[in-house]
Amino acid sequence: MKSENIMKKHTQKNRQIIMLSAAAFFIAAAFLCMRFYNMSSYKTPENPFSVLSESLAEEDGQGGEGYETSSQPKDESSDMDSSQADDSDNTDSSDSNTDTTESSPQADKSDGNSPTVNGGNTNVTINAQGENKSDEVKKKPDSKTETVTKNTDTEYFTTSIKEGERVKKPLYEFTITHKNKALTVQKVQVTVNGSVVNQFSGSVTLHAGKNTIRVACTYTDKSGQVKRAYKDYTVYFDKKEITFDTDLADKDTDTESITFSATAFYGSDKIPLTVKVNGEKLSGSETYTAQLSEGENIITLSAEKDGSKAEKSFKIKYTPAEFSIDTDLYDRTVNDVEFSFYARMKGQSGSAKLSVILNGKKLSGRDNYTCTLQSGDNRIRLYAKDGDKKIDRYFTVTYVPIADDTTRPEITYINVTNGQTVKGSGFTLRFNAQDYQGGRIYADKTEVWLNGLSVECIAQDRNSAYYLQLSGGANLLEIRVYDPEGRYADHAYTINSVSAQKGEQTGVITMSFDAETIGLGQLAAGSEVAIYEGDTGVDVIERFLQQNGFTGDFTGKDDQRYLSRIHKSGAFSGGAVNSELAQLIKNDGIADSNTQYADSLGEFDYTYGSGWVYTVNGNMPAYGMGKVNFTDGDTVRLAFTVAYGRDITGSQDSYDKTW
C-alpha cells in the first residue's frame, strides 16, 4: 500500500510536470507568434510601409516636408494623412499633432500636415530635418493616458533640388544625400506631378510650366524600427519649341531640281538643322538645292535641342516635262522702255535650240533676256526646235511712256465744274479730250466712273456723252483718258445733287425752233421751259410746243422716241429749199421727196434726208430725244433738216455752210 501510494504520488507529480511543461510550451509558442507577427507585419499587404509607393502616389501633395518612424503596423489611411507637409507651426494643433495610440493597425491618426514617429505606443511629430514639432505625445496603456516628450535634431536626407528653380530643359537631374549613417535605406521614391517615377536613377522629365517633385525615403534602424521622410519641391520648366522657317510645300513639279530655304529655331534662337532628301543628308546652310528622283520625293527637316526634337516632311512629286518653253512672258503693258524676261526650254534633248525674236530681230542671250522697247506694241516671238518637234509662241508687250506735263492727255471741254450743284438725279455728261499732239481721244480710250461704278458712253458726236444717275449729296466723278501710245491722265470732279421728288421742278431751259433750211425762218422764238424730275427730252419738247400753240407726233418707244412731225394750221406753207443748199444736197446724193404740207412739217418732207433735230448749247447730240436729259440753264434749238443734219449748225459732219 505504501509503495502504491508512493507510485500514485509520482504519477500525479509527473502529470503536473507534463501539464506545466505543456503550458510553458504553449506560452512560449504564443510569445514567439506574437514576436513573429510584430517583426513581419510591415511586410503584409495591410502594413502601410509595404505599400509605400502606392500610398505616396495617392497623396494629394500639398507640399512641405516630414518623416515618420514606426515599429507597429498601422492603418493605411492614417499613413496618408500623416505624410502631408508639416504646417504645425502655423496651426493650433494640441489635439491634432498628438494622438492616443493602441497596439493596433487602426490606431494612428494625424492632422494631415505633420509627419509622426511611432515607437510602440508612442507618437512624436517631427519634420524632414528631424525637429520636434509637438511638445508632448500621448500614451494609452491599459486605458490610461500618459504624455511623453521626445526631442530630436536628426536630418534624414537632402537633395540638390533648388526650390522654385526655373529650367529650360525637360530632363531635370538631381541627387539625394542620406545624412544618418546609422539608418539603412529601404526605399527611395520620387513622384512628379503625382506620378511615380519608376526606377529613379537621378533624373526626371518635367512638364511645361509648374512641376511638383516629391522625394520620399524609407529607413530602418538597428532595432528594425521603420522611419519615413519626404519633402516636396516646385520646379518650373520654361519650355521652348522647335520651329522651322521654310518656303517648302507639298507640290508637283516638272523640274529635276528644287531650291528652297529652311532654318530651325529653338524659341528665337537658331539651331542646327538636318535636311534629308529621300533619306540622304543634304548639305547647305539656310538655302538648299535638291536633285529630285522621278516620282515622289520626301524632304525631311529635323532638329533637336536640350532634349526636345522636331521633324517635318514635305512631298515633292517630280514628273519630267514634255518638250515645251517655260517663260514669264505674257501680253502686257509696261511703262519702262527697258524690258527683261526669261525663256527656256524644258524636256528637250541636247540638240534643241531656242530663238528669241523682238520686232523681227533676234535677241542674243540664254534663258534671261533684256531688250529696249519701241513706243506702242512690241512683238516677241519664241521659236524652239528639237528634232521634228517645233514650238512657236508670240507675245505682245506694249510700251507706254509715263505722261509728263508736256505729253499728258487733256480734257479740252467738259460740261461740269468741280463742286457744281445740280437739282435732280439725272445729268448728261459731255466732254472732249485730246492727246498732246492735238488728236481727239474717243470713248474707246476713255474710262468714266461715278461713285466707283463704271459708266458707259451713250453717244459720240463732237463730244463723248455719258448719262449720270446721281445720288443725293456729293457724287465723285472720275475720268481717265489715254492717248494712242498709252499715256493717261486722271481727272476728278465733285457733283453735288439736290434730291427732288418725281414731278418736282428742277430747273429752266431756253428753247426755240425753226425751219431756216426751207426759208420759213424761226417758228417760235426762244422762251423758257420748265423741266421736272423724271423728264426726258421728249417730255420737255412736247411741253414747249404746246406752250407755243403747236402739237407734235413722236415715234418709237422709251429712249428711242423722237419727234417725227409738228402740226399747226397754215404755219408751214410757202417753204422751199434754197438753191445753194439744193446743190449741196444733190452733190451728197440725197433725193427730193416732192412732198410738203402747209399744216405740218416732218420727216421725208422736201427730201428723203429730212426731219427734226435738236442741238444743246450749240452741239448736235448723236443720240435721240428720248435719251437726252436737259440741265438747268441749257439752250436748246429745235431745227428742221433736209440733209440728215449736215445742214444744221452744230452737226459733227456738217457742210461748209450751215443754217
Q: 114-118, 138-142, 239-243, 417-421: which range is least confident on average?
A: 114-118
What is residue 101's predicted lDDT score, i.e. its pLDDT? 31
Rounded CA gap, 265 and 303, in Å? Answer: 9
DSSP 8-state secondary structure symbol assigned to residue 321: P
> What is the enclosing helix (H) or strand (E) of 541?
helix 537-547
β strands within 544-651, DSSP E = 551-555, 562-567, 600-602, 611-616, 635-641
End-to-end CA distance of the chain: 192
Q: Would you place residue 144 in the very low, low, confident or very high pLDDT band (cuts 50, 70, 90)?
A: very low
Closest CA to 73 of 262, 241, 225, 239: 225
- Residue-wise pLDDT tens digits, 510-546: 999 999 999 999 999 999 999 999 999 999 999 999 9
DSSP 8-state secondary structure symbol assigned to residue 623: S
Q: Would you place residue 326 in the very low, low, confident or very high pLDDT band (cuts 50, 70, 90)?
A: very high
b/e sequence 622-656, b meaning 16+ C-beta within 10 Å? bbbbbbbbbbeebebbbbbbbbbbbbbebbeebbe
- Residue-wise pLDDT tens digits, 242-279: 999 999 999 999 888 999 999 999 888 899 999 999 99
Which residue has 492727255 as its cell numbers? 409
Contacts of 418 (CB under 8 A, 6+ apart): 492, 493, 494
CB atoms within 10 A of CB 552: 19
> Quick one: what percent of the chain has pLDDT higher than 70?
77
Contact 65, 231 (CB under 8 A): yes
Rounded CA gap, 49 and 126, in Å? Answer: 18
What is residue 375's predicted lDDT score, i.e. its pLDDT? 87
Contact 129, 104 (CB under 8 A): no
pLDDT, the chain, mean:
82
Rounded CA gap, 211 and 191, in Å? Answer: 10
Label residue 163 left, alpha or beta by phi (over 0 means left) and psi (-120 to 50 means alpha).
beta
Q: Would you place residue 86 in the very low, low, confident or very high pLDDT band (cuts 50, 70, 90)?
A: very low
Rounded CA gap, 458 and 26, in Å? Answer: 130
Side-chain half-sphere exposure of 319, counting CA atoms within 13 A: 3
CB atoms within 10 A of CB 375: 14
What is residue 54's predicted lDDT score, i.e. its pLDDT? 37
Most confident of 64-68, 459-463, 496-500: 496-500
Given a cut of 50, whether residue 350 has pLDDT beyond it is: yes
- Residue-wise pLDDT tens digits, 576-632: 999 999 999 999 999 999 999 999 999 999 999 999 999 999 999 988 899 899 999
Q: 149-158, 357-366, 476-485: which range is least confident on average?
A: 149-158
| Domain range 242-318, CATH architecture | Sandwich (2.60)
Closest CA to 440 of 410, 417, 418: 410
Contact 382, 391 (CB under 8 A): yes
Strands 165-167, 226-237: parallel, antiparallel or unpaired by DSSP?
Answer: parallel
What is residue 155's predicted lDDT score, i.e. its pLDDT? 80
Rounded CA gap, 83 and 61, in Å? Answer: 9
Fold for 324-399, please state it: Immunoglobulin-like (2.60.40)
3-state helix, strand, coil split of the chain in percent (to 5) is: 15, 45, 40
Rounded CA gap, 617 and 544, in Å? Answer: 17
| Over residues 465-477, mean pLDDT | 96
Contact 464, 431 (CB under 8 A): yes
The C-alpha R_g of the chain, in whole angstroms, comes to 56
What is residue 652's predicted lDDT score, i.e. its pLDDT? 82
Q: 52-66, 311-325, 621-635: which range is least confident on average?
A: 52-66
Contact 642, 594 (CB under 8 A): no
Given a cut of 60, whether residue 339 has pLDDT beyond it is: yes
Given a cut of 60, whether residue 552 has pLDDT beyond it is: yes
What is residue 651's predicted lDDT score, i.e. its pLDDT? 86
Given a cut of 70, whether residue 116 has pLDDT beyond it is: no
Q: Does domain 505-641 have CATH number 2.170.130.30?
A: yes
- Residue-wise pLDDT tens digits, 180-228: 988 999 999 999 999 999 989 999 999 988 999 999 999 999 999 999 9
Q: Which position has the higher pLDDT, 6 or 266?
A: 266
Q: Would you place residue 89 in the very low, low, confident or very high pLDDT band (cuts 50, 70, 90)?
A: very low
| Over residues 175-180, mean pLDDT | 94
Domains 242-318 and 505-641 equal at CATH topology level = no
Strands 635-641, 505-515: parallel, antiparallel or unpaired by DSSP?
Answer: parallel
Contacts of 184 (CB under 8 A, 6+ apart): 219, 220, 221
Helix (H/G/I), strand (E/B), else coil: 323: coil
Which amino acid, 299? I
In the structure grid, which three cell numbers stand for residue 424, read together?
A: 435732280
Rounded CA gap, 594 and 598, in Å? Answer: 14
Which residue has 506545466 as its cell numbers? 20
Strands 251-253, 308-318: parallel, antiparallel or unpaired by DSSP?
Answer: parallel
Q: Would you place residue 169 in the very low, low, confident or very high pLDDT band (cuts 50, 70, 90)?
A: confident
| Over residues 80-92, mean pLDDT | 36
What is residue 573's predicted lDDT score, i.e. its pLDDT? 96
| Over residues 429-451, mean pLDDT | 96
For the chain, what are the domain ranges?
50-237, 242-318, 324-399, 410-498, 505-641
Task: Select the CATH number that applies to the domain covering 410-498 from these four: 2.60.40.1930, 3.40.50.410, 3.40.50.10860, 2.60.40.1220.
Answer: 2.60.40.1220
| Over residues 393-413, mean pLDDT | 93
Q: Is the dihedral of CA 605, 606, 610, 611 positive or negative?
A: negative
Given a cut of 70, whether residue 113 has pLDDT beyond it is: no
The pTM of the whole model exceeds 0.75: no
Closest CA to 105 of 187, 31, 49: 49
